Amino acid sequence: MQTVAFHSYRGGVGKTLLSVNTAVQLAKFGKKVCLVDFDLRAPSLQSYITSESVFSLDQNDFVSFTEFLIGKGSPEEVINPTKLENFYVVVSDIEILQNKSQTRSKLTQHGEGRILAKLFEFIRYCNSQEFEFLIIDCMPGVTYRSLDALVVSDKIMIITRPVKSEITGLGLVISECYSKLDDTKFYAIMNQIETIQDLKNQPNQMDLKIAQDNLKGIASTLKNNNLEIDILHSFRRVPFVTERIYVLLEDPHPFTKEIQEFCQKLISL
Amino acid sequence: MSKRKGQEIFEIPSEEDLAEYIHKGKKVIQHIEEGKTPIYFKPKRQHPKITFTIIFILVLSSSVIIMVPAMISIFSSINPSTNQTTTQTTYTTQTTIPSGEDPVTLSQSVNQLETFLYQFIPENYSNFAPFMENNSINTSKRITFQEILDFIWLLSQDRDSEWRDLGRNLLYTEYRIWENTSIETESLDLKAHSLRALLSYPQKEVPLIGTEKSSYENRCSLLWNSIKEAVDITSNTISFQENVSIRIADEQIIFLDILCAGTTHGELFNYNELQGYAKNILETLDEIITNINGIPEDFFSNLTEFNPIYSFKDQGHLFLALHALDHSFDLGSLAQSLIQRLDSFIWNYLTRVDWSCNSYYNNTSHKGSNVLASYDQGLMIRNHILMDRLSSANYTANTLRQKLSMSNGGYIISNIKNSSAYLIDQVQILVAFKELIELKNAHESTTGPSMASFWGLQPILIMIIGLSIKRLRERKRKR
């Protein structure tokens, strides 16, 4: 089983959109996939999957992964099968964070490695159930919980956009965090990239220069460190892409095609 | 608009803490993979608020820590008859700390122990494990079947692959304990020891396939069915002897070990069933331990009468089992509460002047016997390690290592009271020493400046104190 974490320095870069679409597409390719919402701060997987009738999932049916992490329930209880063959989901909820302060601190702070141990227990269970891919949608940034997901993953997909502040953050997270994770493979995924064609059509020369500089900035940040981080895929900016599972659409969408291409690369890694 | 709690409260580690967390986190994973109870690590306080009082306490306590051993060594040199490590037979609270340079390092002790053990474990396992008696090897006696089972259970707890593999080989490939059909006709006690050994390696480490795997699983199921029948649902205890009301602590603990080991064999056991038994037994133990803090050697099913004699071995084993239970099951605060109470008991009453513990003691006075079994000291070291108490584990280990003796070309730790040495004792100590080395390494990679550099920090600390006093005075003036 491959445990693949989708991580980014900051939120809002398209992590969940990419991880959900990737997981569903992998399942459509016949791979047994479990998608885990480990963004405990802002879980959003539930809204993605319950809005798609193809999964036939009811919002009230879920046992929260957050509860499992604090010791309630077993791994099998939190894995929800869907109507889509080979596709399973694990959702989190934020309500538990508003309960007792003791529970909250267990989840939000160091936690003596207990949450990490629970997460690993869950992964071992998935392994025993012969899943081929475990896709973890991580919490962004460097918190103890995002570290947990990074520590247990075999491969980490670093999602980044060509924005100056994110390039600085990427450099920081590589030197402070990723460089300390031995035995883990890192791949960069650039999201919302302007194609050469798009750039050519850009009438404002200043914006054009900034866009080009930012692309170079990402490349040099990835290059100028001790880790080998290849750019696995660049997703082009597609107008009007919203929070949807595009790979389920009957009509081919440009984003679907990109996800399919990305999944092929992921399978062959 | 009220701010949602939990939105912005996820703690961000400092760069130093981050490296430590990853390092220790990987250890937790490694322990789980090996089927061991992970050593959870204590959180570091983030960005402590340094106040004058804290600095003052820091300087004062550091000075005390440095000065006390120095004074002790000065007085020791003045009065050579004072031997800090002499074993005292009467119970006193610990006031001194074993000090002085160790003749050998902990790693050397481990090497020597291993060398000694290898002598007794020839490749064909035909004649392994005679034991020492009066400092000579008694080859006429063999290890009993139950000792082999406990030996395997202990080896499975070693993280070193070689020893761990030895246990697995004995169980599945070389000695093929699992195949011993007579297990099913033995006493319930031996069945329990057998099942614990049979389950000691997680499912994924069982090297059996096909019909062998099925026979192994059948044997485990048969044993499990007959053992769980011995659970008394009214008293929530187990007894391996038929029709008796006396409950033996050791039997409860072995059953708890089986429940934990069962969780690593998901195909064979129902997790909820195991958890139900664990909860029930712990609730009973909770009741017993409430009044007296330790667990008596035996007690009656009505929970009103206890044997006044207690064994450290039971406390130590229960402590290990509780940690494993806490990790394997969702027991709420039950296991943690027992761990804390038992730990406080061991810490307050059972540690002797030389940081070792009595093998037996009386519950009313906590007065111990004069027997200090090496096995118990090994257990005690492991208990300290589980609570991340490096210095206490060190002291007990140092005391124990001073009892190491060269004999017959081997390096043994004899029972402290008498000169017999059992194979199982050596392995318990080996496991304890190895865990201690791991804990030391983990601490060394994370601790700050050593004590030696304390004096180098003194001028800085004095300067900080000076500045703090100055600021306090300025504040007073402003007022």
pLDDT tens, position by position, B184-236:
888 899 999 999 999 999 998 999 999 999 999 999 999 999 999 999 888 88
Cβ contact A73–B330 (<8 Å)? yes
Angle (nearest 5°) at CA B477 between B474 and B479: 115
Partners of residue B8 in chain A, C-beta under 8 Å: 41
Q: Please give the pLDDT value at position A20.
A: 92
Q: Where does the pLDDT of residue B46 fall: very low under 50, low under 70, confident under 90, or very high at 90 and above?
A: very low
Judged against a pLDDT cut of 50, whether residue B45 lies above it is answered with no
Q: What is the mean pLDDT of residues B123-147?
A: 59
Q: Please give the pLDDT value at position A46.
A: 81
Sign of CA pseudo-dihedral B460, B466, B469, B471: negative
Domain interval for residue A69: 2-268
Residue of B nearest to A74 (CA): B271
Higher pLDDT, B139 or B239: B239
Higher pLDDT, B314 or B132: B314
Helix (H, G, I), strand (E, B) or coil at B365: coil
Rounded distance between C-alpha atoms, residue B323 and residue B39, angstroms: 9
Cβ contact A141–B25 (<8 Å)? no
Judged against a pLDDT cut of 60, whether residue B409 lies above it is answered with no
Rounded distance between C-alpha atoms, residue B344 and residue B247, angstroms: 24
| Interface residue of A66, A180, A181, A182 to substitute, partner B, most B CBs within 10 Å | A180
In chain A, the number of structural domains is 1
Judged against a pLDDT cut of 60, whether residue B451 lies above it is answered with no
Note which residues in 302-331 of chain B have CB less than 8 A from chain A.
327, 330
Q: Where does the pLDDT of residue B305 fall: very low under 50, low under 70, confident under 90, or very high at 90 and above?
A: confident
Q: Please give the pLDDT value at position B96.
A: 41
Q: Please give the pLDDT value at position B64.
A: 63
The predicted-structure confidence for B453-470, as pLDDT tens digits, reads as follows: 555 566 677 777 777 777
Cβ contact B6–A104 (<8 Å)? yes
DSSP A135: E
Angle (nearest 5°) at CA B343 between B337 and B344: 95
Q: What is the mean pLDDT of residues B428-456?
A: 74
Partners of residue A128 in chain B, C-beta under 8 Å: 203-204, 266
Closest CA to B436 of B377, B364, B361, B478: B377
CATH of the domain at A10: 3.40.50.300
Cα separations (Å) of B259 from B128, B213, B246, B322, B403? 30, 21, 22, 11, 36
Q: Please give the pLDDT value at position B79.
A: 39
For residue B229, give both structure tokens.
């029948």
Contact, A176 vs B15, CB < 8 A?
Answer: yes
Judged against a pLDDT cut of 70, whether residue B28 lies above it is answered with yes
Q: Please give the pLDDT value at position B159.
A: 78
Please report, in tens digits, the pLDDT of each residue of chain A (269 residues total): 999 999 998 888 888 999 999 999 999 999 999 999 998 888 888 878 887 777 777 767 778 888 888 877 788 888 988 888 899 999 888 777 666 666 676 777 776 778 888 899 899 999 888 899 999 999 888 888 888 899 899 999 999 888 887 888 888 888 888 888 877 888 988 888 777 677 666 667 777 777 778 888 888 888 777 777 888 888 888 777 777 888 887 678 888 988 999 999 999 88
Rounded distance between C-alpha atoms, residue B24 and residue A181, angstroms: 12
Cβ contact A120–B32 (<8 Å)? yes
